[in-house]
């Protein structure tokens, strides 16, 4: 691959058409800020240096850029953030990167931070074209990306001479009616000869409708200076879709979503209805997994092989489904590890919880992870059986093979030993586990004084609904008791 000397990403613009106070390039697109997509594409050129032009509210942009690039490890370019203040247009933005962008002989590739659909391959094609056609000595000039747009409104139009050569770019606002009829548009992606930049950038003027210094004026000045200017026309006009408005943000998101879904489909993930499936960037899914309709899977989720997710399910950041796990029908997971072949198939909230292999989470189970101030972690051991409607008030520990009865409310800091059965409100240990119980044999229950019976438990209708337990059997134990074992953190 031919390398760029330097990549410059312009991201200082105000994004006024978005009507938002936040920098436009931080808008989220499939779980990643817009800028992340653009930097990733730019970093694909393996340039040593990446300049990011930011405005005065750009501290967050810098943090995002550092994070996104560091994810690329050793192959990441060095990042230099350049402040453009005040802002006088795209040409002025590149001027702020002088004199560095005017040095060396490898091309300077410039792209805009609001074009997240641009593909790394298109950039590579551009750079290869620059080396092949636009790099020769004193005639070294510019290669730029263009596309034929069905709706060119708002974009710079490419003006060509009778012989077909590129002469200039005219912005929508400055274009004549004839020029507005042109459907070839400027993407805002260029490979420049650095010496040409050193010469021509300082000479830009702001003689136009917006009184801005247009980077696009460099095309006409290169032609006038006898430099080579060539367009690489993209086949896929969707790459030309920039984000100036919230409507365009939604369109671009849809495109990126389709690309992500496509990758999973080709990797053997069955997605029944791509139109109602939302999968963020940075999600891993094993082959053979089935994703059913109306499902949202957020960035950072990892799903093993042969799992089933959905319908109507949200998997939030930090969730891991091990092979064969199944979650669906109005279940939400957040920072949950769901063990191999464990099931939570109906109406559950599983937050900050590690669930062992082959656990069954009954319908309506809630892990109440938040006490109003802090989030707490819980664990459920393998093959445990959590009865329908159980509320586990975190932090709790449910041992392997343990059982909770339908409607049990397991209060915070409870530790349910392996094999025990707990029922009622608040949940108490059942003295004896019935032989027909689904889960493995319980450990013997500790004797408990009758006086310690919980009146709440004996009144609990939930407890009396539980399989074999009657309220009279509910006991709390003194020494092995489930009560607060440790203080809440």
The footprint of ligand UD1 (CB under 6 A) covers 10-13, 53, 84, 87-90, 92-93, 112-115, 155-156, 169, 171, 185-188, 214-216, 242, 244
HSE at residue 443, side-chain half, CA atoms within 13 A, is 12
CB of 70 to ligand UD1, least distance (A): 22
Beta carbon nearer to Ca ion, 77 or 242: 242
User: Which 44-63 residues touch Ca ion, going by CB under 5 A?
Assistant: none
Report the residue number whose CB is nearest to ligand UD1. Answer: 156
Beta carbon nearer to Ca ion, 186 or 404: 186
Nearest residue to 428 (alpha-carbon basis) of 452, 399, 393:
452
Tell me the C-alpha distance between 406 and 278, whole Å. 33
Q: If contact means CB under 5 to 8 A according to the sort of partner, which of ligand UD1, Ca ion, none does residue 362 touch?
A: none
Tell me the C-alpha distance between 112 and 89, whole Å. 12
Nearest residue to 432 (alpha-carbon basis) of 440, 424, 444:
444
Of positions 114, 280, 352, 382, contacts Ca ion by CB under 5 A: 114
Per CB under 5 A, 242 contacts Ca ion: yes
Specify whether the CB–CB gap between 196 and 141 falls below 8 A: yes
Per CB under 5 A, 23 contacts Ca ion: no
Beta carbon nearer to ligand UD1, 96 or 460: 96
Beta carbon nearer to ligand UD1, 240 or 384: 240
Q: Which stretch binds Ca ion (CB under 5 A): 62-70, 108-116, 257-265, 404-412?
A: 108-116
Q: If contact means CB under 5 to 8 A according to the sort of partner, which of Ca ion, ligand UD1, none does residue 53 touch?
A: ligand UD1
Tell me the C-alpha distance between 417 and 394, whole Å. 16
Q: If contact means CB under 5 to 8 A according to the sort of partner, which of ligand UD1, Ca ion, none does residue 214 touch?
A: ligand UD1
Tokens of 109: 């590739």
Specify whether the CB–CB gap between 465 and 405 falls below 8 A: yes
Specify whether the CB–CB gap between 7 and 109 falls below 8 A: yes
Beta carbon nearer to ligand UD1, 156 or 407: 156
- How many residues are recorded in the chain? 489
E strands present in 411-452? 415-416, 421-423, 428-430
Alpha helices in 134-216 (DSSP H): 177-180, 194-200
Q: If contact means CB under 5 to 8 A according to the sort of partner, which of Ca ion, ligand UD1, none does residue 216 touch?
A: ligand UD1
CB of 171 to ligand UD1, least distance (A): 6
Burial profile 226-253: b = 16 or more Cβ within 10 angstroms, e = fewer: ebbbbbbebeebbbbbbbbeeebbeebb
CB of 242 to Ca ion, least distance (A): 4
Per CB under 5 A, 419 contacts Ca ion: no
CB of 95 to ligand UD1, least distance (A): 10
Number of other CB atoms surrounding residue 443 within 10 Å: 15
CB of 252 to Ca ion, least distance (A): 11
User: Catalytic site residues?
Assistant: 346
Q: If contact means CB under 5 to 8 A according to the sort of partner, which of Ca ion, ligand UD1, none does residue 152 touch?
A: none
Tell me the C-alpha distance between 55 and 288, whole Å. 46
Tokens of 81: 């953030």
User: Which backbone phi and psi does 223 adopt, to 5 degrees?
Assistant: -60, -45
List contacts with Ca ion (CB under 5 A).
114, 242, 244
């Amino acid at each position: 691959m031919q390398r760029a000397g330097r990549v410059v990403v312009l991201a200082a613009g105000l994004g006024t058409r978005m009507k938002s106070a936040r920098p436009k390039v931080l808008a989220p697109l499939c779980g990643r800020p817009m800028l992340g997509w653009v930097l990733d594409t730019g970093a694909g050129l393996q340039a040593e240096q990446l300049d990011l032009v930011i405005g005065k509210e750009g501290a967050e942009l810098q943090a995002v850029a550092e994070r996104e690039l560091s994810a690329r490890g050793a192959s990441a370019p060095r990042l230099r953030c350049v402040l453009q203040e005040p802002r006088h247009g795209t040409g002025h933005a590149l001027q702020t990167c002088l004199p560095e962008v005017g040095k060396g002989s490898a091309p300077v590739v410039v792209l805009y931070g609001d074009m997240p659909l641009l593909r790394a391959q298109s950039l590579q094609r551009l750079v290869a074209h620059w080396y092949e056609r636009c790099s020769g000595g004193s005639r070294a000039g510019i290669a730029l990306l263009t596309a034929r747009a069905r709706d060119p409104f708002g974009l710079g139009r490419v003006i060509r001479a009778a012989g077909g050569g590129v002469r200039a770019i005219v912005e929508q606002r400055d274009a004549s009616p004839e020029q507005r009829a042109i459907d070839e548009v400027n993407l805002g992606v260029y490979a420049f000869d650095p010496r040409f930049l050193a010469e021509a950038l300082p000479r830009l003027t702001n003689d136009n409708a917006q009184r801005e210094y247009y980077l696009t004026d460099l095309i006409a000045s290169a032609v006038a200076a006898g430099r080579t200017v060539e367009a690489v026309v993209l086949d896929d006009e969707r790459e030309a879709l920039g984000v100036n408005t919230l409507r365009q943000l939604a369109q671009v998101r849809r495109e990126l979503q389709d690309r992500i879904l496509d990758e999973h489909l080709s990797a053997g993930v069955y997605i029944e209805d791509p139109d109602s499936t939302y999968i963020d960037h940075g999600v891993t899914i094993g082959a053979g997994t089935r994703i059913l309709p109306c499902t949202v899977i957020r960035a950072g989720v990892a799903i093993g092989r042969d799992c089933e997710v959905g319908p109507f399910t949200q998997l939030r950041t930090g969730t891991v489904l091990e092979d064969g796990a199944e979650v669906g029908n109005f279940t939400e997971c957040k920072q949950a590890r769901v063990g191999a072949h464990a099931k939570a198939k109906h109406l559950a909230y599983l937050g900050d919880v590690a669930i062992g292999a082959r656990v069954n989470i009954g319908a309506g189970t809630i892990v109440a992870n938040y006490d109003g101030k802090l989030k707490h972690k819980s664990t459920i051991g393998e093959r445990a059986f959590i009865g329908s409607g159980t509320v586990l008030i975190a932090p709790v520990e449910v041992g392997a093979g343990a059982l909770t009865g339908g409607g049990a409310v397991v209060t915070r800091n409870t530790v349910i030993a392996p094999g025990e059965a707990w029922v009622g409100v608040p949940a108490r240990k059942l003295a004896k586990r019935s032989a027909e119980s689904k889960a493995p044999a319980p450990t013997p229950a500790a004797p408990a004084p009758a006086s310690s019976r919980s009146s709440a438990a004996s009144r609990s209708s939930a407890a009396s609904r539980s399989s074999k337990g009657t309220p009279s059997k509910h006991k709390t134990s003194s020494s092995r008791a489930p009560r607060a074992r440790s203080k809440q953190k």
